[in-house]
Structure 1
Amino acid sequence: MTGLTVPAREAWHEQGPHLGQLIRSFRDLDALDPRQPVVTLFSGGLDSTYLLHRLRESGFDEVHALSVDLGGEERDEGGRAAAEALGAIAHVVDAREAFATEFVAPAIAAHAVYLDAHPVSSTLSRPLIARIALRLAGELGARAILHTANRSQNSLRRLNGAIGLLGWFGYYGSPYDLCPIDRERKITELAAAGLDHLSGRTVSGDANLWCREFESGVLDDPEDHAVPEHLYRWSAPGGRRSTAADEIIEIGFEGGVPAVLSGRRLPLHDIIGELNTRVGAHGLGRYSGLEHLEGGQKVLEVREMPAAWLLLRTSRHLEHATLTAETVREKMHVEQIWVREALEGRWYGELRSAAQAFIDACISRVTGSVRWHLTDGRAQTIAIVAHCPRYVRDREAWETEAVRAEQSMYTGAVRASRRASA
C-alpha cells in the first residue's frame, strides 16, 4: 500500500482492496476531468502510443507517460519521441535493481514455473510497475492510472489486481478491456497524426532482465507459429560467441539467492544479465507454451530466458542437496500456490505472502554452488557442493558406518534388556 496515508490504509483494511473505479472502455474516459493529471503506462508500442493519441484528441491537458526500465535492453527512443510528439510528459524510472531483488529473487526461491511449462515473467514485473505508477500518481496529484492491456493479455488482471490491492482510490484500468480497436485503425490514425514508425511490427513484445516475451501477430495461432529467428537476441545464432562451444560456469547461492558467478560476488541483476548472454550463447533458454486467460481460454506465448533456465535448475539441485525429501515435496506444492496467486494478479495478496513465508523458511538452508559444463544446446552438472549437505560422498564408507552404528545400537539394546530382566 505504498504511498497511502494512515487513514487511507485503515479505510483500505475496512473496505477491501478495490476502492477505485475501473476504466474499461474509451467511453469511460469521459468520467475523467481532462484538467487533472493522468498517468499512463507507456511501452512505446502501438497500443500505448494510440492511447496517448486518443487522450490528446479528447483534450486532456496533462498526460504523463510512464516507462519503467526493467533491464530488457530495449531502448526505444522513437517511442519516447512519439510520446512527446503527442504532448505527453515522458517519465523513465530505472527499476532494474528493485525488480531483481524484490521480485525475481522470490520467484527463484519459489521455482516460479507455470504448470511445468515456462518460468513466469510479466507476472513479476506488473506488480512493480503498478507500485511505481501509484507513487508517481501520488506525487503528481493524478486521479487516474491507465494502461493498455486487452482481454487476450494476462497483464489486464495482473495490473488491475495490483493497483486494486495497493489501495488506489482513483480511476484505473484499460480502455481496451471492453473496447478493442483493430490494428489497422490504430496505425491509420497514428499515421494521420504524423506517427508511422509502428506499422512494421508483427508481434507484441515485452522485455525485462528475466525474460524477452512475444505473443500475438504472427504468433497468434498455436497450430502454426514458426517463430521468426530475428525475435531472439540472447540465444540468436548470429549473436553467439565463437568460444561458446565449451564452457564451465559455477553459480553460488546464499540462503536461496544467487550471489556468486564463477568466483565473483555480483548483484543479482548483474548475474542475470551475464548469464543471459553466456547461457544463451549455447542455444539454451527458449520456451513456448500456452497460458490461460481469465475465462479459461489459452493463448500462445514465446519466451527467451537463458539465465532463468540455468538459475532455476541450479536452485533445485541445491534444494535437493540441503533439504529433506519431504520438505522439497511440500515446497513444490506450495510453489504452485505462489505461482497461481502471483499470476492471477494477487502479488500483494495475503495468500502469496503466506506462501512466500513458507518458501523463505525452506530456502534459508540453501547455500552452496553448482558447477556446469555447457556446450552447444546442452548443460551438465559436474559438481554440486552444499554448505550443509545431506548427500553421501562415499557410499561404501557410509554403508559400513551405517551398519556399524545399527549393530552397536542393537547390541546396546540387547544388553539393556538382559540387565532389566536379571
Structure 2
Amino acid sequence: MHTPPIRSFHQIESGIDPAVPIVTLFSGGLDSSYLLLRLRQVGLTAIHAVSVDLGEDESSAYKQQIADALGVKLHVLDRRQEFAASFVAPAIAAQAVYLGVHPVSSTLSRPLIAQSAVELAATLGAQAIIHTANRSQNTLRRLNGALSLLGYQGLYGSPYDLDPVDREDKLRALQAAGVDLLDGRVVSGDSNLWCREFESGILDDPEEHAVPDSMYRWSALDTQAAPRSLTVSFEAGRPVAVDGERLPLVELIAGLNDNVGQYGLGRYSGLEHLDHGEKVLEIREMPAAWLLLGSYRHVETACLDAELMREKQHLEQIWVREALEGRWFGELRLAAQQFIDACAGQTTGSVTWQLHVGGGETRAIVAPRPRYLRDRERWEAQSIALEAAPYSAPLPPLV
C-alpha cells in the first residue's frame, strides 16, 4: 500500500521512531536549519543532514557549524562532476529552456539531490527522507516525484507543505538555541554550478521587482571589459573546449560564467507555474548557459537535417515538461532523451563569438561534416549544371 507523504510536523512527531535514523536535506538556509532544530526538540536522536554539493554558494564549513550547534551528523557529498555530466550536459543537448523564457536549473539539481539522499538512506537504514520545500516552490513536486520514481520505501516529504512556520518565528527559535544564521537576506536563493536563482522576499511581486546589482556575482557588469573573441567547441553533443583548451565540464562552465558574465550577459527573469497553475517570479543569472545553449543550437543546425531538427524541437519541450514536473526518472523523459542523444551524436563543431558589453555576435560556425554552404554562387552553378544536363540534348522529332 502506498504510504502518504509527510506534509506536516504533526506527522513527524506522531509517526517517526525517535531512535531510527532519518535523513534530512540540508542547504544551510533558514528552513533546513529550523527543521533540524524542530526534529531535535521532539526527541529524534539519529538525525543525518545531507548536503549535496553541486557548486552552491554556501560553504561546507558554514553548514558544519550549524550542524554542530544543533547536534546532528552532517554528510557533505560532492556531486559536481556527476551533475555536470549527467544532468547539465543532457539539458544543453535538450535545449532545456522553460517555455522559451529561461534555462531550467533546479529542475536538474533536484533529481540528483533526491538520488543522493536515497543512497545515503539505504546505507543508514533510514526510516524517512525529509526536505523543506513548501507549496509555493516547484521543488516540492520535483523532490517528491523523484523519491517516488526512485522507489524509496520509507517515509518522505516536507512538513512545510501543510504546516508553514513564519520566518521570524524560525529565526527566534534558532537564536534561542544558540544558532545565528547569516542575516540580511531579502530573497530566497538557490545556486549550483549552472545557475544562481532568486525568488520571494523583495521579488514576490511580478508587477514590481528590482534586483539589487549586488546580488549578481557571475554577471556583475564590468563596463571597462574590452571586446574579446571566444570559441566554444562540442564533440558528439558535449562541450569540450574553450579557445582550443580542453576542459572538464565543471571547469568549463565555471570559466564561462566568469568570462561571459563580465559583459553583463546571462541574466533571466520570468514566471514559472506552480503545481496548480499559479505563477511565481524567478530571477536567474546563467552566463555559461547563455553561451552554451546558443552555441549548441548553431552547431546542431550546421550538422542536422532540418526535418530532424523540427521534430527534436517538439521533443525538447516534452523533455523540459517531464523534468520540470518531477518526472526526471520517468519513462517519457528517458524516451525523449534517447532521441535527443541520437541527435547529439551527430552534433560536433565550434562557434566563435565576439563578446562586448551587453551583447555578443557569432563570427564563425564550423562543423567537420557541415550542411551549410560556403560559396552560394558556386553551389548554384554546380546545381544548375547537374539538373540541366538531361535538358541539353535535342528533343526527339515529332512522329
TM-score with structure 2 setting the length: 0.96
Match of 1:309 in 2: 290
TM-superposed CA distance for 1:198, in Å, is: 4.0
Q: What code does the residue aligned with 1:258 have? A: P
Q: Is the 8 A contact 1:20 1:164 kept in 2?
A: no
The Cα offsets for residues 298-327 of structure 1, whole Å up to 9 and x where unpaired, read as 000000100000000000001111112111
310 and 63 in structure 1: CA distance in 2 versus 1, 3 angstrom threshold: same
**Residue 166 in structure 1 maps to residue 147 in structure 2:** no
Q: Is the 8 A contact 1:245 1:282 kept in 2?
A: no
Match of 1:3 in 2: none
**Residue 116 in structure 1 maps to residue 100 in structure 2:** yes
TM-superposed CA distance for 1:84, in Å, is: 1.6
TM-superposed CA distance for 1:411, in Å, is: 4.6
For structure 2, the residue ranges without an aligned partner over 5 or more in a row are: none
Q: Is the 8 A contact 1:99 1:125 kept in 2?
A: yes
TM-superposed CA distance for 1:73, in Å, is: 4.5
Q: 1:390 & 1:111 partners in 2: Cα distance?
A: 20
The match for 1:274 among 252, 255, 270 is 255
Identity rate, percent: 61
TM-superposed CA distance for 1:34, in Å, is: 0.7
162 and 410 in structure 1: CA distance in 2 versus 1, 3 angstrom threshold: farther
Q: 1:255 & 1:52 partners in 2: Cα distance?
A: 44
TM-superposed CA distance for 1:236, in Å, is: 1.4
The Cα offsets for residues 34-85 of structure 1, whole Å up to 9 and x where unpaired, read as 1000100000000000000000001001101111111234425333211221
Matches within 5 A, 1:59-208: 59-75=43-59, 77-208=61-192
Q: 1:410 & 1:170 partners in 2: Cα distance?
A: 76
**Residue 224 in structure 1 maps to residue 208 in structure 2:** yes
TM-superposed CA distance for 1:200, in Å, is: 2.2
Matches within 5 A, 1:377-392: 377-392=358-373
Q: 2:186 & 2:57 partners in 1: Cα distance?
A: 19
SS at match of 1:301: strand
The match for 1:56 among 24, 40, 47 is 40
Q: Is the 8 A contact 1:212 1:305 kept in 2?
A: yes
**Residue 372 in structure 1 maps to residue 356 in structure 2:** no
**C-alpha RMSD over aligned residues:** 1.7
Q: Is the 8 A contact 2:28 2:58 kept in 1?
A: no
Q: What code does the residue aligned with 1:251 have? A: V
**Residue 248 in structure 1 maps to residue 232 in structure 2:** no
Q: 2:283 & 2:251 partners in 1: Cα distance?
A: 24
Q: Is the 8 A contact 2:25 2:32 kept in 1?
A: yes
Match of 1:25 in 2: 8
> Which has the larger displacement, 306-315 or 192-201?
192-201
Q: 1:85 & 1:194 partners in 2: Cα distance?
A: 7
Match of 1:300 in 2: 281
Q: Is the 8 A contact 2:30 2:181 kept in 1?
A: no
Match of 1:9 in 2: none
TM-superposed CA distance for 1:196, in Å, is: 2.6
Q: 1:60 & 1:259 partners in 2: Cα distance?
A: 47
Runs of 4+ in 1 over 6 A off after TM superposition: none
Q: 2:293 & 2:255 partners in 1: Cα distance?
A: 15
The match for 1:210 among 194, 216, 241 is 194
TM-score with structure 1 setting the length: 0.91
> Which has the larger displacement, 356-365 or 115-124?
356-365
TM-superposed CA distance for 1:191, in Å, is: 1.2
SS at match of 2:252: helix
TM-superposed CA distance for 1:197, in Å, is: 2.2
The match for 1:337 among 310, 318, 326 is 318
SS at match of 2:189: strand
Q: 1:410 & 1:58 partners in 2: Cα distance?
A: 91
Match of 1:403 in 2: 384
The Cα offsets for residues 84-132 of structure 1, whole Å up to 9 and x where unpaired, read as 2111101101000000000001000000000010000000000000000
The match for 1:265 among 222, 232, 246 is 246
Match of 2:343 in 1: 362
20 and 263 in structure 1: CA distance in 2 versus 1, 3 angstrom threshold: farther
241 and 262 in structure 1: CA distance in 2 versus 1, 3 angstrom threshold: farther
SS at match of 2:5: strand
For structure 1, the residue ranges without an aligned partner over 5 or more in a row are: 1-14
Q: 2:116 & 2:241 partners in 1: Cα distance?
A: 29
TM-superposed CA distance for 1:188, in Å, is: 1.2
The Cα offsets for residues 188-239 of structure 1, whole Å up to 9 and x where unpaired, read as 11111112324422111111010001111111111111101111111113xx
